[in-house]
A and B are shown apart, each in its own frame.
Chain A
Amino acid sequence: MRDDQARELPRKPAKKKLMGQDALWAFVLLIPLVVGIGLIYFSAVFGFAMSFTSWDIVRKAQWIGLDNYKTLAYDGLVWKAMYNTLIFLVISIPAKLIISFALAILLNQKLKGIKLFRLIYFFPTACSVVAIALVWGYLYGTDGFLNTLLQDIGLPKVYWMDEHNAMGSIAIMGVWGSMGFIALLFLAGLQNVPTEYYEASRVDGASRWQQLWNITIPLITPTTFFILITQVIGAFQMFGEVYLLSGPLDSTLTIVQYIFNEAFQGFRMGYASALSYLLILIIFIITVIQLRLQKKWVHYDL
Protein backbone atom coordinates (compact mmCIF):
# COMPACT_ATOMS: atom_id res chain seq x y z
CA MET A 1 0.00 0.00 0.00
CA ARG A 2 2.64 2.46 1.04
CA ASP A 3 4.73 1.32 -1.84
CA ASP A 4 1.94 2.12 -4.26
CA GLN A 5 1.47 5.57 -2.83
CA ALA A 6 5.14 6.24 -3.03
CA ARG A 7 5.10 5.40 -6.68
CA GLU A 8 1.97 7.38 -7.38
CA LEU A 9 2.88 10.62 -5.67
CA PRO A 10 5.93 11.89 -7.51
CA ARG A 11 4.56 10.59 -10.79
CA LYS A 12 1.49 12.72 -11.07
CA PRO A 13 2.96 16.20 -11.32
CA ALA A 14 5.65 14.91 -13.68
CA LYS A 15 3.05 13.48 -16.01
CA LYS A 16 1.14 16.72 -16.00
CA LYS A 17 4.24 18.63 -16.91
CA LEU A 18 4.95 16.25 -19.76
CA MET A 19 1.44 16.72 -21.07
CA GLY A 20 1.99 20.44 -21.11
CA GLN A 21 5.17 19.96 -23.07
CA ASP A 22 3.30 17.76 -25.54
CA ALA A 23 0.69 20.39 -26.18
CA LEU A 24 3.34 23.06 -26.66
CA TRP A 25 5.22 20.95 -29.19
CA ALA A 26 1.99 20.01 -30.92
CA PHE A 27 1.22 23.69 -31.29
CA VAL A 28 4.63 24.47 -32.79
CA LEU A 29 4.78 21.48 -35.14
CA LEU A 30 1.29 22.10 -36.43
CA ILE A 31 1.84 25.73 -37.43
CA PRO A 32 2.49 24.97 -41.15
CA LEU A 33 -0.45 22.60 -41.46
CA VAL A 34 -2.87 24.91 -39.69
CA VAL A 35 -1.83 27.77 -41.98
CA GLY A 36 -2.32 25.47 -44.97
CA ILE A 37 -5.75 24.12 -44.14
CA GLY A 38 -6.74 27.57 -42.91
CA LEU A 39 -5.89 28.91 -46.36
CA ILE A 40 -7.90 26.19 -48.03
CA TYR A 41 -10.99 26.81 -45.91
CA PHE A 42 -10.57 30.54 -46.36
CA SER A 43 -10.20 30.12 -50.14
CA ALA A 44 -13.31 28.00 -50.33
CA VAL A 45 -15.36 30.70 -48.59
CA PHE A 46 -13.64 33.54 -50.45
CA GLY A 47 -14.26 31.83 -53.78
CA PHE A 48 -17.90 31.31 -52.96
CA ALA A 49 -18.31 34.99 -52.10
CA MET A 50 -16.48 35.92 -55.30
CA SER A 51 -18.97 33.93 -57.35
CA PHE A 52 -21.61 36.59 -56.52
CA THR A 53 -19.49 39.40 -57.89
CA SER A 54 -18.26 40.80 -61.13
CA TRP A 55 -14.53 41.28 -60.72
CA ASP A 56 -11.55 41.75 -63.03
CA ILE A 57 -9.06 42.05 -60.10
CA VAL A 58 -8.10 45.56 -61.27
CA ARG A 59 -11.23 47.48 -60.38
CA LYS A 60 -13.28 46.98 -57.25
CA ALA A 61 -15.46 43.92 -57.14
CA GLN A 62 -19.15 44.52 -57.72
CA TRP A 63 -21.80 42.50 -55.97
CA ILE A 64 -24.18 41.20 -58.60
CA GLY A 65 -26.06 38.57 -56.62
CA LEU A 66 -27.07 35.48 -58.53
CA ASP A 67 -26.33 36.92 -61.98
CA ASN A 68 -23.29 34.70 -62.61
CA TYR A 69 -25.33 31.61 -61.84
CA LYS A 70 -28.15 32.80 -64.08
CA THR A 71 -25.65 33.41 -66.88
CA LEU A 72 -24.14 29.97 -66.62
CA ALA A 73 -27.51 28.26 -66.74
CA TYR A 74 -27.96 29.66 -70.26
CA ASP A 75 -24.30 29.39 -71.26
CA GLY A 76 -24.03 26.97 -74.16
CA LEU A 77 -20.33 26.43 -73.49
CA VAL A 78 -21.09 25.04 -70.04
CA TRP A 79 -23.37 22.44 -71.58
CA LYS A 80 -20.83 21.75 -74.29
CA ALA A 81 -18.18 21.12 -71.65
CA MET A 82 -20.51 18.76 -69.79
CA TYR A 83 -21.31 16.93 -72.99
CA ASN A 84 -17.60 16.55 -73.78
CA THR A 85 -16.93 15.13 -70.34
CA LEU A 86 -19.82 12.72 -70.80
CA ILE A 87 -18.37 11.48 -74.11
CA PHE A 88 -15.04 10.99 -72.41
CA LEU A 89 -16.64 9.04 -69.57
CA VAL A 90 -18.78 6.81 -71.77
CA ILE A 91 -15.79 5.80 -73.89
CA SER A 92 -13.05 5.61 -71.31
CA ILE A 93 -14.62 4.25 -68.12
CA PRO A 94 -15.85 0.85 -69.39
CA ALA A 95 -12.63 0.37 -71.36
CA LYS A 96 -10.48 1.29 -68.38
CA LEU A 97 -12.34 -1.06 -66.06
CA ILE A 98 -12.46 -4.07 -68.37
CA ILE A 99 -8.93 -3.86 -69.78
CA SER A 100 -7.34 -3.06 -66.43
CA PHE A 101 -9.19 -5.84 -64.66
CA ALA A 102 -8.12 -8.40 -67.26
CA LEU A 103 -4.60 -7.06 -67.02
CA ALA A 104 -4.63 -7.32 -63.23
CA ILE A 105 -5.65 -10.98 -63.43
CA LEU A 106 -2.73 -11.61 -65.75
CA LEU A 107 -0.37 -9.68 -63.48
CA ASN A 108 -1.57 -11.78 -60.57
CA GLN A 109 -0.34 -15.01 -62.19
CA LYS A 110 2.89 -16.57 -61.16
CA LEU A 111 4.84 -15.85 -64.30
CA LYS A 112 8.52 -15.13 -64.75
CA GLY A 113 9.34 -11.47 -65.27
CA ILE A 114 5.96 -10.30 -64.00
CA LYS A 115 7.58 -7.46 -62.09
CA LEU A 116 9.06 -6.08 -65.28
CA PHE A 117 5.60 -6.02 -66.85
CA ARG A 118 4.17 -4.20 -63.85
CA LEU A 119 6.93 -1.64 -64.23
CA ILE A 120 6.22 -1.17 -67.94
CA TYR A 121 2.47 -0.76 -67.48
CA PHE A 122 2.96 1.73 -64.70
CA PHE A 123 5.39 3.75 -66.79
CA PRO A 124 2.98 6.30 -68.34
CA THR A 125 1.93 7.32 -64.81
CA ALA A 126 5.40 8.79 -64.31
CA CYS A 127 5.20 10.85 -67.49
CA SER A 128 3.79 14.33 -67.76
CA VAL A 129 0.50 15.06 -69.46
CA VAL A 130 2.42 17.54 -71.60
CA ALA A 131 4.73 14.88 -73.01
CA ILE A 132 1.94 12.36 -73.49
CA ALA A 133 -0.43 14.82 -75.14
CA LEU A 134 2.25 16.14 -77.51
CA VAL A 135 3.33 12.69 -78.60
CA TRP A 136 -0.24 11.55 -79.14
CA GLY A 137 -0.94 14.78 -80.95
CA TYR A 138 1.67 13.85 -83.54
CA LEU A 139 0.53 10.23 -83.68
CA TYR A 140 -3.04 11.41 -84.27
CA GLY A 141 -2.05 13.72 -87.15
CA THR A 142 -3.88 13.34 -90.46
CA ASP A 143 -0.66 11.96 -91.94
CA GLY A 144 0.55 10.77 -88.58
CA PHE A 145 1.79 7.38 -87.64
CA LEU A 146 -1.56 5.88 -86.65
CA ASN A 147 -3.03 6.70 -90.05
CA THR A 148 0.02 5.29 -91.80
CA LEU A 149 -0.52 2.07 -89.87
CA LEU A 150 -4.20 2.02 -90.83
CA GLN A 151 -3.36 2.56 -94.50
CA ASP A 152 -0.69 -0.12 -94.40
CA ILE A 153 -3.34 -2.66 -93.46
CA GLY A 154 -5.73 -1.28 -96.06
CA LEU A 155 -8.04 0.80 -93.87
CA PRO A 156 -9.12 4.39 -94.56
CA LYS A 157 -7.66 7.35 -92.69
CA VAL A 158 -9.29 8.49 -89.49
CA TYR A 159 -9.51 12.20 -88.74
CA TRP A 160 -8.61 11.68 -85.11
CA MET A 161 -8.68 15.27 -84.01
CA ASP A 162 -11.61 16.63 -85.99
CA GLU A 163 -14.71 18.03 -84.35
CA HIS A 164 -16.45 14.68 -84.00
CA ASN A 165 -13.58 12.40 -83.06
CA ALA A 166 -11.38 14.60 -80.87
CA MET A 167 -12.95 13.77 -77.52
CA GLY A 168 -12.98 10.07 -78.33
CA SER A 169 -9.32 10.22 -79.31
CA ILE A 170 -8.48 11.90 -76.03
CA ALA A 171 -10.42 9.16 -74.25
CA ILE A 172 -8.33 6.50 -76.01
CA MET A 173 -5.18 8.29 -74.89
CA GLY A 174 -6.64 8.36 -71.37
CA VAL A 175 -7.21 4.61 -71.38
CA TRP A 176 -3.70 4.01 -72.68
CA GLY A 177 -2.19 6.24 -70.00
CA SER A 178 -4.05 4.95 -66.98
CA MET A 179 -4.69 1.26 -67.59
CA GLY A 180 -1.46 0.16 -65.95
CA PHE A 181 -2.07 2.26 -62.88
CA ILE A 182 -5.65 1.02 -62.57
CA ALA A 183 -4.51 -2.55 -63.12
CA LEU A 184 -2.19 -2.12 -60.17
CA LEU A 185 -5.10 -0.97 -58.02
CA PHE A 186 -7.09 -4.02 -59.12
CA LEU A 187 -4.06 -6.17 -58.38
CA ALA A 188 -4.02 -4.85 -54.81
CA GLY A 189 -7.69 -5.83 -54.55
CA LEU A 190 -7.07 -9.29 -56.01
CA GLN A 191 -4.32 -9.98 -53.53
CA ASN A 192 -6.73 -9.27 -50.71
CA VAL A 193 -9.16 -11.99 -51.77
CA PRO A 194 -8.65 -14.86 -49.35
CA THR A 195 -7.33 -17.94 -51.14
CA GLU A 196 -9.56 -20.22 -49.03
CA TYR A 197 -12.54 -19.17 -51.13
CA TYR A 198 -10.86 -20.50 -54.25
CA GLU A 199 -9.75 -23.68 -52.56
CA ALA A 200 -13.23 -24.35 -51.18
CA SER A 201 -14.88 -23.74 -54.54
CA ARG A 202 -12.37 -25.96 -56.30
CA VAL A 203 -13.31 -28.76 -53.95
CA ASP A 204 -16.93 -28.15 -54.95
CA GLY A 205 -15.90 -28.51 -58.59
CA ALA A 206 -16.23 -24.90 -59.73
CA SER A 207 -14.65 -24.00 -63.03
CA ARG A 208 -12.30 -21.04 -63.48
CA TRP A 209 -15.10 -19.01 -65.05
CA GLN A 210 -17.44 -19.76 -62.17
CA GLN A 211 -14.75 -18.71 -59.73
CA LEU A 212 -14.25 -15.47 -61.63
CA TRP A 213 -17.96 -14.62 -61.69
CA ASN A 214 -18.92 -15.80 -58.23
CA ILE A 215 -15.84 -15.04 -56.15
CA THR A 216 -13.37 -12.68 -57.79
CA ILE A 217 -15.70 -10.11 -59.33
CA PRO A 218 -18.02 -9.74 -56.31
CA LEU A 219 -15.11 -9.56 -53.87
CA ILE A 220 -13.30 -6.97 -55.92
CA THR A 221 -16.27 -4.60 -56.12
CA PRO A 222 -14.94 -2.28 -53.37
CA THR A 223 -11.83 -1.70 -55.48
CA THR A 224 -13.95 -1.27 -58.61
CA PHE A 225 -16.04 1.27 -56.74
CA PHE A 226 -12.97 3.20 -55.60
CA ILE A 227 -11.62 3.28 -59.16
CA LEU A 228 -14.97 4.35 -60.59
CA ILE A 229 -15.36 7.23 -58.12
CA THR A 230 -11.81 8.55 -58.54
CA GLN A 231 -11.84 8.21 -62.34
CA VAL A 232 -15.15 10.03 -62.68
CA ILE A 233 -13.98 12.85 -60.40
CA GLY A 234 -10.72 12.99 -62.36
CA ALA A 235 -12.58 13.20 -65.67
CA PHE A 236 -14.57 16.19 -64.50
CA GLN A 237 -11.34 17.94 -63.58
CA MET A 238 -9.48 17.18 -66.79
CA PHE A 239 -7.31 20.04 -68.05
CA GLY A 240 -3.82 19.31 -69.37
CA GLU A 241 -4.91 16.78 -71.99
CA VAL A 242 -7.40 19.11 -73.62
CA TYR A 243 -5.29 22.22 -73.16
CA LEU A 244 -2.54 20.71 -75.28
CA LEU A 245 -4.50 18.43 -77.57
CA SER A 246 -7.57 20.44 -78.32
CA GLY A 247 -9.99 19.73 -81.10
CA PRO A 248 -11.63 22.46 -83.19
CA LEU A 249 -14.75 24.44 -82.23
CA ASP A 250 -14.79 23.75 -78.49
CA SER A 251 -15.13 20.05 -79.28
CA THR A 252 -12.80 19.25 -76.38
CA LEU A 253 -13.59 22.12 -74.03
CA THR A 254 -13.82 20.95 -70.40
CA ILE A 255 -15.11 22.81 -67.38
CA VAL A 256 -11.68 23.34 -65.85
CA GLN A 257 -10.36 24.64 -69.16
CA TYR A 258 -13.32 27.00 -69.34
CA ILE A 259 -12.64 28.17 -65.78
CA PHE A 260 -8.98 28.68 -66.68
CA ASN A 261 -9.85 30.73 -69.76
CA GLU A 262 -12.38 32.88 -67.93
CA ALA A 263 -10.18 33.51 -64.90
CA PHE A 264 -6.69 33.88 -66.34
CA GLN A 265 -7.30 35.04 -69.88
CA GLY A 266 -10.58 36.94 -69.62
CA PHE A 267 -10.01 37.99 -66.00
CA ARG A 268 -13.65 37.37 -65.18
CA MET A 269 -12.92 36.09 -61.68
CA GLY A 270 -16.52 36.17 -60.51
CA TYR A 271 -17.89 34.11 -63.36
CA ALA A 272 -14.96 31.69 -63.16
CA SER A 273 -15.66 31.21 -59.44
CA ALA A 274 -19.31 30.51 -60.15
CA LEU A 275 -18.21 27.92 -62.72
CA SER A 276 -15.93 26.27 -60.20
CA TYR A 277 -18.77 26.03 -57.71
CA LEU A 278 -20.98 24.52 -60.40
CA LEU A 279 -18.26 21.95 -61.00
CA ILE A 280 -18.05 21.10 -57.31
CA LEU A 281 -21.81 20.77 -57.13
CA ILE A 282 -21.78 18.35 -60.06
CA ILE A 283 -18.95 16.28 -58.59
CA PHE A 284 -20.74 16.24 -55.26
CA ILE A 285 -24.05 15.10 -56.77
CA ILE A 286 -22.42 12.39 -58.85
CA THR A 287 -20.44 11.13 -55.88
CA VAL A 288 -23.55 11.01 -53.69
CA ILE A 289 -25.45 9.12 -56.40
CA GLN A 290 -22.59 6.66 -56.69
CA LEU A 291 -22.44 6.20 -52.93
CA ARG A 292 -26.18 5.47 -52.93
CA LEU A 293 -25.92 3.04 -55.83
CA GLN A 294 -23.00 1.32 -54.22
CA LYS A 295 -25.36 -0.60 -51.91
CA LYS A 296 -26.79 -2.32 -54.97
CA TRP A 297 -23.57 -3.73 -56.31
CA VAL A 298 -20.63 -3.33 -53.95
CA HIS A 299 -20.04 -6.33 -51.70
CA TYR A 300 -17.89 -5.90 -48.67
CA ASP A 301 -18.15 -9.58 -47.87
CA LEU A 302 -19.31 -12.73 -49.61
Chain B
Amino acid sequence: MEHTTQQAIKSVQYIILLALSVVILFPFAWLLLSSFKDNFEIMSGNHLIPKNWTFDNYVKIMTEIPMLTFFKNSAFIAVMATIGGIFASAMSAFVFAKLQFKGRDTLFTMVLVVMMIPGVVTMIPLFIIIKSVGLMDSLWALILPNWTGAAFSVFFLRQHMMSIPHDLYESAKMEGCSPFRIFMTIYLPLVKSALATLAVLNFIGHWNDLLGPLIYLNSPEKMTITVGISYFRGQYVTDYPVVLAGVFLSLIPTVVVFMFLQKYLTKGMLISGLK
Protein backbone atom coordinates (compact mmCIF):
# COMPACT_ATOMS: atom_id res chain seq x y z
CA MET B 1 0.00 0.00 0.00
CA GLU B 2 2.69 2.41 1.11
CA HIS B 3 4.70 1.41 -1.92
CA THR B 4 1.92 2.09 -4.39
CA THR B 5 1.19 5.57 -3.01
CA GLN B 6 4.90 6.35 -3.27
CA GLN B 7 4.78 5.19 -6.86
CA ALA B 8 1.69 7.31 -7.53
CA ILE B 9 3.32 10.42 -6.07
CA LYS B 10 6.36 9.85 -8.23
CA SER B 11 4.27 9.52 -11.37
CA VAL B 12 2.39 12.72 -10.59
CA GLN B 13 5.69 14.51 -10.06
CA TYR B 14 6.97 13.26 -13.40
CA ILE B 15 3.80 14.35 -15.14
CA ILE B 16 4.10 17.87 -13.76
CA LEU B 17 7.80 18.08 -14.64
CA LEU B 18 7.09 16.87 -18.16
CA ALA B 19 4.14 19.20 -18.62
CA LEU B 20 6.26 22.18 -17.63
CA SER B 21 9.06 21.06 -19.92
CA VAL B 22 6.57 21.05 -22.77
CA VAL B 23 5.46 24.57 -21.84
CA ILE B 24 9.06 25.76 -21.74
CA LEU B 25 10.18 24.04 -24.90
CA PHE B 26 7.06 24.59 -26.97
CA PRO B 27 7.92 28.08 -28.31
CA PHE B 28 11.34 26.75 -29.39
CA ALA B 29 9.78 23.75 -31.10
CA TRP B 30 7.31 26.04 -32.85
CA LEU B 31 10.18 28.30 -33.91
CA LEU B 32 12.22 25.44 -35.35
CA LEU B 33 9.31 23.80 -37.15
CA SER B 34 7.96 27.07 -38.53
CA SER B 35 11.33 27.98 -39.98
CA PHE B 36 10.91 25.04 -42.37
CA LYS B 37 7.51 26.14 -43.61
CA ASP B 38 6.95 28.19 -46.73
CA ASN B 39 5.29 31.53 -46.48
CA PHE B 40 1.97 30.33 -47.84
CA GLU B 41 1.74 27.54 -45.31
CA ILE B 42 2.48 29.76 -42.35
CA MET B 43 -0.19 32.24 -43.40
CA SER B 44 -2.87 29.69 -44.19
CA GLY B 45 -2.89 27.34 -41.29
CA ASN B 46 -1.55 26.83 -37.87
CA HIS B 47 -0.66 23.20 -37.64
CA LEU B 48 2.67 22.62 -36.01
CA ILE B 49 4.41 20.24 -38.41
CA PRO B 50 5.24 21.60 -41.90
CA LYS B 51 3.51 19.79 -44.75
CA ASN B 52 6.18 20.69 -47.26
CA TRP B 53 9.55 20.96 -45.61
CA THR B 54 11.68 23.65 -47.19
CA PHE B 55 15.18 24.95 -46.60
CA ASP B 56 14.50 28.08 -48.64
CA ASN B 57 14.24 30.26 -45.56
CA TYR B 58 17.73 29.31 -44.49
CA VAL B 59 19.06 29.85 -47.98
CA LYS B 60 17.35 33.23 -48.11
CA ILE B 61 18.66 34.35 -44.76
CA MET B 62 22.21 33.47 -45.70
CA THR B 63 22.07 35.08 -49.14
CA GLU B 64 19.75 38.07 -48.85
CA ILE B 65 20.72 39.20 -45.38
CA PRO B 66 24.33 39.66 -44.23
CA MET B 67 23.73 36.98 -41.63
CA LEU B 68 27.33 35.79 -41.58
CA THR B 69 28.52 39.33 -40.92
CA PHE B 70 26.11 39.66 -38.01
CA PHE B 71 27.40 36.38 -36.65
CA LYS B 72 31.01 37.48 -36.98
CA ASN B 73 30.32 40.82 -35.31
CA SER B 74 28.46 39.26 -32.42
CA ALA B 75 31.09 36.58 -31.96
CA PHE B 76 33.92 39.10 -32.08
CA ILE B 77 32.28 41.32 -29.48
CA ALA B 78 31.20 38.49 -27.21
CA VAL B 79 34.56 36.71 -27.23
CA MET B 80 36.74 39.80 -26.90
CA ALA B 81 34.57 41.44 -24.25
CA THR B 82 34.30 38.23 -22.25
CA ILE B 83 37.99 37.34 -22.27
CA GLY B 84 39.22 40.87 -21.62
CA GLY B 85 36.61 41.56 -18.99
CA ILE B 86 37.20 38.39 -17.05
CA PHE B 87 40.98 38.76 -17.22
CA ALA B 88 40.83 42.31 -15.88
CA SER B 89 38.39 41.23 -13.18
CA ALA B 90 40.62 38.34 -12.18
CA MET B 91 43.66 40.62 -11.87
CA SER B 92 41.74 42.96 -9.61
CA ALA B 93 40.24 40.10 -7.64
CA PHE B 94 43.74 38.72 -7.05
CA VAL B 95 44.95 42.10 -5.83
CA PHE B 96 42.06 42.44 -3.40
CA ALA B 97 42.41 38.86 -2.18
CA LYS B 98 46.16 38.64 -1.73
CA LEU B 99 48.11 41.88 -1.97
CA GLN B 100 48.57 44.40 0.81
CA PHE B 101 48.54 48.10 0.13
CA LYS B 102 47.22 51.28 1.60
CA GLY B 103 43.59 52.11 0.86
CA ARG B 104 42.76 48.60 -0.31
CA ASP B 105 39.58 48.26 1.71
CA THR B 106 38.31 51.70 0.74
CA LEU B 107 38.84 50.90 -2.92
CA PHE B 108 37.11 47.56 -2.55
CA THR B 109 34.11 49.24 -0.93
CA MET B 110 33.99 51.62 -3.89
CA VAL B 111 33.90 48.61 -6.21
CA LEU B 112 31.01 47.09 -4.25
CA VAL B 113 29.07 50.36 -4.38
CA VAL B 114 29.37 50.31 -8.19
CA MET B 115 27.31 47.09 -8.19
CA MET B 116 24.40 49.11 -6.86
CA ILE B 117 24.53 51.78 -9.57
CA PRO B 118 22.05 50.77 -12.28
CA GLY B 119 23.26 50.74 -15.86
CA VAL B 120 20.69 53.33 -16.95
CA VAL B 121 22.49 56.03 -14.99
CA THR B 122 25.73 55.61 -16.86
CA MET B 123 24.13 54.88 -20.23
CA ILE B 124 23.86 58.45 -21.51
CA PRO B 125 27.18 59.82 -20.16
CA LEU B 126 28.96 56.72 -21.46
CA PHE B 127 27.41 57.29 -24.87
CA ILE B 128 28.77 60.84 -24.89
CA ILE B 129 32.23 59.65 -23.81
CA ILE B 130 32.29 56.93 -26.49
CA LYS B 131 31.13 59.44 -29.08
CA SER B 132 33.75 61.98 -28.10
CA VAL B 133 36.62 59.47 -28.33
CA GLY B 134 35.44 58.59 -31.83
CA LEU B 135 34.31 55.03 -31.20
CA MET B 136 30.80 55.46 -32.57
CA ASP B 137 29.76 52.78 -35.05
CA SER B 138 32.75 50.67 -34.05
CA LEU B 139 32.62 47.22 -32.51
CA TRP B 140 35.25 48.39 -30.04
CA ALA B 141 32.66 50.66 -28.42
CA LEU B 142 31.06 47.47 -27.12
CA ILE B 143 34.35 45.76 -26.22
CA LEU B 144 36.69 48.28 -24.65
CA PRO B 145 34.42 49.44 -21.81
CA ASN B 146 34.34 45.83 -20.62
CA TRP B 147 38.09 45.55 -20.42
CA THR B 148 38.08 47.39 -17.15
CA GLY B 149 36.53 44.41 -15.41
CA ALA B 150 33.13 44.23 -13.76
CA ALA B 151 32.37 44.75 -10.10
CA PHE B 152 30.37 41.55 -9.78
CA SER B 153 33.11 39.43 -11.40
CA VAL B 154 35.74 40.99 -9.15
CA PHE B 155 33.67 40.23 -6.09
CA PHE B 156 32.88 36.69 -7.24
CA LEU B 157 36.49 35.81 -8.11
CA ARG B 158 37.84 37.40 -4.95
CA GLN B 159 35.61 35.09 -2.89
CA HIS B 160 37.06 32.10 -4.71
CA MET B 161 40.66 33.27 -4.47
CA MET B 162 40.38 33.95 -0.76
CA SER B 163 39.47 30.32 -0.19
CA ILE B 164 42.85 29.23 -1.58
CA PRO B 165 45.33 28.64 1.28
CA HIS B 166 47.54 31.65 1.83
CA ASP B 167 50.65 29.46 2.28
CA LEU B 168 50.66 28.86 -1.44
CA TYR B 169 51.15 32.53 -2.06
CA GLU B 170 53.76 32.92 0.68
CA SER B 171 55.91 30.03 -0.45
CA ALA B 172 55.81 31.01 -4.12
CA LYS B 173 56.88 34.45 -3.09
CA MET B 174 59.76 33.15 -0.97
CA GLU B 175 61.03 31.43 -4.06
CA GLY B 176 61.13 34.74 -5.83
CA CYS B 177 57.96 34.63 -7.89
CA SER B 178 56.52 38.00 -8.78
CA PRO B 179 52.88 38.56 -7.79
CA PHE B 180 51.90 38.63 -11.46
CA ARG B 181 53.49 35.24 -12.09
CA ILE B 182 51.84 33.83 -8.98
CA PHE B 183 48.56 35.11 -10.31
CA MET B 184 49.05 33.65 -13.79
CA THR B 185 50.50 30.26 -12.85
CA ILE B 186 48.83 29.49 -9.51
CA TYR B 187 45.69 31.46 -8.86
CA LEU B 188 44.17 31.65 -12.32
CA PRO B 189 44.25 27.86 -12.87
CA LEU B 190 42.91 27.21 -9.38
CA VAL B 191 39.74 29.25 -9.91
CA LYS B 192 39.00 27.64 -13.27
CA SER B 193 35.43 26.72 -12.50
CA ALA B 194 34.63 30.21 -11.23
CA LEU B 195 36.13 31.62 -14.43
CA ALA B 196 34.00 29.23 -16.46
CA THR B 197 30.85 30.30 -14.63
CA LEU B 198 31.59 33.94 -15.35
CA ALA B 199 32.54 33.17 -18.93
CA VAL B 200 29.17 31.57 -19.64
CA LEU B 201 27.27 34.40 -18.00
CA ASN B 202 29.31 37.07 -19.78
CA PHE B 203 29.26 35.40 -23.17
CA ILE B 204 25.49 34.94 -23.04
CA GLY B 205 25.08 38.51 -21.82
CA HIS B 206 27.24 40.05 -24.55
CA TRP B 207 25.82 37.92 -27.33
CA ASN B 208 22.26 38.75 -26.30
CA ASP B 209 22.85 42.45 -25.62
CA LEU B 210 20.38 44.64 -27.44
CA LEU B 211 20.62 48.11 -25.94
CA GLY B 212 24.39 48.50 -26.46
CA PRO B 213 24.44 47.70 -30.21
CA LEU B 214 21.30 49.77 -30.68
CA ILE B 215 23.01 52.80 -29.19
CA TYR B 216 26.50 52.48 -30.65
CA LEU B 217 26.17 50.79 -34.04
CA ASN B 218 24.56 52.28 -37.14
CA SER B 219 25.78 50.72 -40.35
CA PRO B 220 24.36 47.37 -41.40
CA GLU B 221 27.79 45.80 -41.79
CA LYS B 222 28.58 46.58 -38.15
CA MET B 223 25.35 45.23 -36.68
CA THR B 224 25.22 42.35 -34.28
CA ILE B 225 22.83 39.50 -34.57
CA THR B 226 20.32 40.87 -32.07
CA VAL B 227 19.95 44.26 -33.75
CA GLY B 228 20.35 42.77 -37.21
CA ILE B 229 17.42 40.45 -36.76
CA SER B 230 15.15 43.07 -35.29
CA TYR B 231 16.23 45.44 -38.08
CA PHE B 232 15.59 43.01 -40.91
CA ARG B 233 12.31 41.96 -39.41
CA GLY B 234 11.05 45.26 -40.82
CA GLN B 235 11.98 44.19 -44.36
CA TYR B 236 10.46 40.74 -44.09
CA VAL B 237 7.17 41.68 -42.51
CA THR B 238 5.23 39.40 -44.81
CA ASP B 239 7.85 36.67 -45.05
CA TYR B 240 8.23 35.68 -41.51
CA PRO B 241 9.57 32.14 -41.81
CA VAL B 242 12.75 33.85 -43.01
CA VAL B 243 12.92 35.92 -39.83
CA LEU B 244 12.26 32.79 -37.79
CA ALA B 245 15.11 30.96 -39.50
CA GLY B 246 17.39 33.83 -38.51
CA VAL B 247 16.10 33.81 -34.96
CA PHE B 248 16.76 30.10 -34.73
CA LEU B 249 20.33 30.46 -36.01
CA SER B 250 20.96 33.30 -33.55
CA LEU B 251 20.16 31.01 -30.63
CA ILE B 252 22.71 28.34 -31.50
CA PRO B 253 25.94 29.87 -30.09
CA THR B 254 24.62 30.74 -26.64
CA VAL B 255 22.75 27.50 -26.35
CA VAL B 256 25.89 25.54 -27.26
CA VAL B 257 28.00 27.49 -24.75
CA PHE B 258 25.30 27.01 -22.18
CA MET B 259 25.00 23.27 -22.77
CA PHE B 260 28.73 22.71 -22.51
CA LEU B 261 29.28 24.80 -19.43
CA GLN B 262 25.95 24.58 -17.66
CA LYS B 263 27.30 22.19 -15.04
CA TYR B 264 29.64 24.95 -13.88
CA LEU B 265 26.81 27.42 -14.00
CA THR B 266 24.37 25.40 -11.93
CA LYS B 267 27.10 24.26 -9.56
CA GLY B 268 28.36 27.80 -9.18
CA MET B 269 24.88 29.02 -8.46
CA LEU B 270 24.01 26.23 -6.07
CA ILE B 271 27.24 26.38 -4.08
CA SER B 272 28.56 29.88 -3.92
CA GLY B 273 25.47 31.87 -4.67
CA LEU B 274 23.03 33.80 -2.64
CA LYS B 275 24.02 33.55 0.93
Q: Could you list which residues of chain A lie within 8 angstroms of chain B, going by C-beta atoms?
A: 18-19, 21-23, 25-30, 32-37, 39-44, 46-47, 50, 57, 103, 106-107, 109, 111, 117-132, 134-136, 138-139, 143-145, 148, 176, 180, 184-185, 187-189, 191-192, 223, 226, 233, 237, 239-240, 243-244, 256, 259-260, 263-264, 269, 272-273, 276-277, 279-280, 283
Contacts and interface: CB of A to CB of B under 8 A. Distances in A.
B162 interface: no
A289 to B, nearest CB: 16
Interface string B151-175: 1001000000000000000000100
Nearest to A134: B247
A109 B10 CA distance: 9
A128 B17 contact: no
A126 B211 contact: no
Contacts of B210: 128-130, 239-240, 243
Contact of A25 (B99, B154, B255, B273): B99
B168 to A, nearest CB: 16
Given A29-B180, A32-B149, A103-B20, A122 B266 contact: yes
B76 interface: no
Interface stretch (B52-60, B90-98, B190-198): B90-98
A132 B232 CA distance: 16
A23 B131 CA distance: 35
Counting from the closest, the 9 A-B pairs by CB-CB distance are A36-B148, A128-B208, A43-B125, A126-B258, A148-B46, A43-B122, A23-B101, A33-B92, A25-B179
Contact of B180 (A25, A30, A121): A25
B100 interface: yes
Interface in B248-275: 250-251, 254-255, 257-259, 262, 265-266, 269-270, 273-275
The interface centre, meaning the residue of B16, B27, B104, B107 with most chain A CB atoms within 10 A of its CB, is B27
Contact of A30 (B34, B95, B275): B95
A18 B147 contact: no
Contact of A22 (B148, B179, B247): B179
A118 B20 CA distance: 11
B79 interface: no
A221 B269 CA distance: 18
A271 to B, nearest CB: 10
Nearest to A51: B124
A106 B13 contact: yes
B143 interface: no
Given A30-B95, A111-B10, A42 B24 contact: no
B21 A128 contact: no
Contacts of B121: 43-44, 47, 276-277, 280
Given A18-B173, A36-B148, A106-B16, A57 B131 contact: yes
Contacts of B207: 128
30 contacts: A22-B99, A22-B101, A26-B95, A26-B100, A29-B99, A32-B147, A33-B88, A33-B89, A34-B107, A36-B145, A37-B148, A39-B129, A106-B17, A111-B14, A123-B28, A123-B255, A125-B204, A126-B258, A127-B255, A131-B229, A138-B34, A143-B46, A145-B46, A176-B24, A184-B269, A187-B270, A188-B270, A237-B120, A264-B127, A264-B214
Contacts of A223: 274
Contacts of A240: 210-211
Nearest to B151: A37
Contacts of A125: 204, 258
The interface centre, meaning the residue of A30, A109, A124 with most chain B CB atoms within 10 A of its CB, is A30
Nearest to B209: A128
A56 B230 CA distance: 27
A255 to B, nearest CB: 8
A296 B208 CA distance: 38
Contacts of B14: 111
Interface in B1-59: 10, 13-14, 16-17, 20-21, 23-25, 27-28, 30-31, 34, 46, 48
A300 B99 CA distance: 34
B238 interface: no
The interface centre, meaning the residue of A39, A148, A279 with most chain B CB atoms within 10 A of its CB, is A39
Contacts of A34: 107
B124 A139 contact: no
B226 interface: yes
B274 A119 contact: no
Given A23-B100, A33-B88, A243-B210, A134 B27 contact: no
Contacts of A264: 127, 214-215
A105 B122 CA distance: 39
A138 B240 contact: yes
B81 to A, nearest CB: 13
A33 B149 contact: yes
A36 to B, nearest CB: 3
Contacts of B117: 40, 44
A108 to B, nearest CB: 11
The interface centre, meaning the residue of A26, A138, A144 with most chain B CB atoms within 10 A of its CB, is A26
Contact of A21 (B120, B178, B211, B269): B178
Nearest to B204: A126
B125 A46 contact: yes
A43 to B, nearest CB: 4
